[in-house]
Amino acid sequence: MTTIDSLGEFGLIHKLSQLVPAPRHPDTVRGIGDDAAVIDTAGDEYLLVSTDMLLEGIHFDLMYMPLQHLGFKAVAVNVSDMAAMNGLPAQLTVSIGLSSRFTVEAVEEIYQGIAAACEAYNVDLVGGDTTASRTGLTISITVLGRVPKDRITYRSTAQPNDVICVTGDLGAAYLGLQLLEREKQVYLADPSMQPNLEEKAYLVQRQLRPDARTDIVHELRDLDIKPTAMIDISDGLASEILHLCTQSKTGAVIFDDTIPIDDQTYLTADEFKISPVTAALNGGEDYELLFTIQPQAFEKLKNHARITAIGYMTADPSQVVLATRAGQQTPIKAQGWKHF
Amino acid sequence: MTTIDSLGEFGLIHKLSQLVPAPRHPDTVRGIGDDAAVIDTAGDEYLLVSTDMLLEGIHFDLMYMPLQHLGFKAVAVNVSDMAAMNGLPAQLTVSIGLSSRFTVEAVEEIYQGIAAACEAYNVDLVGGDTTASRTGLTISITVLGRVPKDRITYRSTAQPNDVICVTGDLGAAYLGLQLLEREKQVYLADPSMQPNLEEKAYLVQRQLRPDARTDIVHELRDLDIKPTAMIDISDGLASEILHLCTQSKTGAVIFDDTIPIDDQTYLTADEFKISPVTAALNGGEDYELLFTIQPQAFEKLKNHARITAIGYMTADPSQVVLATRAGQQTPIKAQGWKHF
């Protein structure tokens, strides 16, 4: 008997993937192993499929997660997988499991958040399943997207010397979570204490209502830049750069002083005595895009306000390192989430 | 505050469907309201999408549900939705939430069942999500299927005088569940008692390892019969005929003595002092197909061993009735499942 804990989430997924029979349908272009599966439905576009399940007590805490935000976030994290393939979402299905402690009004709030996200990302809600649950709330979403065949971007196609870019800033969602957890403990100890998170609004919003970077998909198209590889940052920069390197069979150098980090993240990391770079590397839930481009394409992006170059790919797959300007290098290790 | 219980599952789904924005993508042919959503991806076929979530303690009890069967069943119930649109499955995604009481070996058993079903129904497992859960086991599956555009069959297109047909036999899965529940109570009272269900193998199998009727989709195609309307029987014949009638704006007469019921179901219904017709009408989980055909098409099916004519559609939507040969008619009411 093997505990799941002893294998870890990635170990378990690896073991299960070995039980999956090889695809037999000729239209299955790519199965497990990227941000989305890729299906050829004829025509100029591929169909993308991705699914995510959010469980109460694991992925969210209803003590501080408003139900509308939860509905929005459940959609956004799936849409983010479409963006990571350089595609856009089109349809989604939503399954919800609810225990009897939820009222009809509560379920309506979740759906209002889902509807708001469908509006924001231009997705049609086309199906789902609503069922009772013994305990807690479960939301499972599957999103279908489209990407022009000549624009699809996998994790496995980066080359040495490609520039590594990241959108937005990192680590904020993780510090938002730390703040919310701290306020929860304060509240539990003394329910008359009202949290004051106004000065930390950005961090809290990044945790509770993350945005998927479909805007970047449009912009890269307009700039006529096709990334050589891409992934979304759901588990932290460390874990994602390792995925890109493993699948592309490359190494990487990331410069610690180039990682984009918001001022609120810096200040709050200091409060919590956490290194802001560690929050960016291992925090997770930023839902930004991490991608690589050919060196000659970088000219077009170098003044982009929301895209930052943070390093470059190398030829040696055994060297995925964080470098200081002084030249010191430390190996990057995946931490990811440990829920089990 | 409104409890979900007071609205019921169908009431809740109706209320939530009003919050769903109208589809905006021109390729969304049909959203919520049938066994699957229908998407036009260009070419001669439609893409079908359906999703189902199974929760421990609601949809299955691991005291008598072997994990391999659970994996198989989770796929079969989704494949059944493809058959209900007159289509066949092609790809699926699987999300699993697991508490720490599950071992790696247990998860592997679930996946072996999923892989067996992928083999049986010729489906590619192309993606998924594996996550920790606070309590219990959750399986959420989304299946993608295909159907030639000129073969797609909705719930809403039956006409008065169409013949109502059903595949296989009904009520067995429900009695299988009653048997397993009874044996569970016996075992809990005295763990030295070993259940002997050999003579009831058919009923138990119908509950634990139902089969999706993709064979019927092939046969109807070979016979050049296109049903005028179709649905799969997941919640019992009563609930499904009411769906067909409501959406097609028809009434229906079903003859009680024509409903196909297996001998084991008869005998066991007697044991449990349940009417076998009630088990067929309200039992659920048979995963047979209920469909209507034009009267002139019936000639081709009338000697089919696994398809039974059980009545006909009528013009008056207010009359959905069960009739005895003596001429007595009683209204059919949906009971469905009440999990909340």
* CB A166, CB A229: distance < 8 Å: no
Q: Residues A248-287, buried b or exposed e (16+ Cβ, 10 A)?
A: bebbbbbebeebbbbebbeebbeeeebebbebbbbbbbbb
Check the annotation: does B128 bind a ligand: yes
Q: Residues A171-181, buried b or exposed e (16+ Cβ, 10 A)?
A: bbbbbbbbbbe
* Start-to-end C-alpha separation, chain A: 16
Give the single-character DSSP code of A300: G
Q: What is the mean pLDDT of chain A?
A: 93
CA dihedral B52, B56, B59, B61 (to 10 degrees): 150
Contacts of A280 (CB under 8 A, 6+ apart): A170, A171, A236, A237, A259, A261, A265, A286
Contacts of A194 (CB under 8 A, 6+ apart): none
* CB A126, CB B21: distance < 8 Å: no
**How far is C-alpha A314 from the chain's CA centre?**
24
Quickly count helices (H) and strands (E) in chain A. Answer: 9, 13
Check the annotation: does B130 bind a ligand: no
What is the least distance, in Å, from the CA of B266 to any CA of chain A? 30
From residue B86, alpha-carbon distances to A93, B149, B249, B290 in Å are 20, 10, 21, 11
What is the least distance, in Å, from the CA of B37 to any CA of chain A? 6
Options 3.30.1330.10, 3.90.190.10, 3.30.70.260, 3.20.20.150; CATH for A4-148 is 3.30.1330.10
For domain A163-331, the CATH superfamily is PurM-like C-terminal domain (3.90.650.10)
Lowest mean pLDDT, pick from A180-189, A235-244, B282-291: A180-189
What is the least distance, in Å, from the CA of A136 to any CA of chain B? 9
Q: Residue B338: its pLDDT value, please?
A: 54
Closest CA to A230 of A86, A121, A332, A88: A86
User: CA B333 to CA A36: how far, in whole Å?
Assistant: 43
Task: Give the pLDDT confidence of A277-336 residue by residue, as tens digits.
Answer: 999 999 999 999 999 999 999 999 988 999 999 999 999 999 999 999 888 999 999 865
- B202's tokens: 């058919």
CB contact under 8 A, A49 and B93: yes
In chain B, what residues touch A144 (CB-CB under 8 Å)? 39, 49
User: Residue A10 pLDDT > 80, yes or no?
Assistant: no
Please report, in tens digits, the pLDDT of each residue of chain B (340 residues total): 888 888 877 788 788 888 888 899 999 999 988 999 999 998 899 999 999 999 999 999 999 999 999 999 999 999 999 999 999 999 999 999 999 889 999 999 999 999 999 999 999 999 988 888 988 999 999 999 999 999 999 999 999 999 999 999 999 999 999 999 999 998 888 888 877 788 899 999 999 999 999 999 999 999 999 999 999 999 999 999 999 999 999 999 999 999 999 999 999 999 999 999 999 999 999 999 999 999 999 999 988 999 999 999 999 999 999 999 888 999 999 865 555 4
Q: Which residue out of A104, A155, A338 would a mutagenesis test of the B interface target, given it has the greatest number of B Cβ atoms within 10 Å? A: A104
Task: Decide: residue B278, CB within 10 A, 0-12 exposed, 13-18 middle, 19+ buried.
Answer: middle
CATH code 3.30.1330.10 region(s) in chain B: 4-148
Nearest CB to B134; choose among A52, A55, A144: A55
CA-angle at B251, arms to B246 and B253, nearest 5°: 130
**Which residue of chain B comes nearest to A43, CA vs CA?**
B42
Nearest CB to A134; choose among B57, B104, B108: B57
Task: Give the pLDDT confidence of B223-262 residue by residue, as tens digits.
Answer: 999 999 999 999 999 999 999 999 999 999 999 999 999 9
What is the least distance, in Å, from the CA of A107 to any CA of chain B? 8
Q: Residue B339: its pLDDT value, please?
A: 52
In chain B, what residues touch A32 (CB-CB under 8 Å)? 125-128
Q: Is the dihedral of CA B99, B102, B108, B113 positive or negative?
A: negative
Helix (H, G, I), strand (E, B) or coil at A164: strand
**Helices A104-121 & B4-17 angle (0-180, nearest 10):** 20
What is the least distance, in Å, from the CA of B240 to any CA of chain A? 16
Compute how many other C-beta atoms are within 10 angstroms of the C-beta atom of residue B332. 21
CATH code 3.90.650.10 region(s) in chain A: 163-331
* CB A237, CB A166: distance < 8 Å: yes
CB contact under 8 A, B140 and A36: no
- ipTM rounded to 2 decimals: 0.92
Lowest mean pLDDT, pick from A30-34, A71-75, A306-310, B310-314: A30-34
Check the annotation: does B234 bind a ligand: yes
Residue A282's Cβ-side half-sphere holds a number of Cα atoms within 13 Å equal to 13
Nearest CB to A20; choose among B24, B102, B125: B125
* CB A100, CB B5: distance < 8 Å: yes
Q: What is the mean pLDDT of residues A224-234?
A: 97
Q: CB contacts < 8 Å between A and B, how many?
A: 262
**Which residue of chain B comes nearest to A116, CA vs CA?**
B21
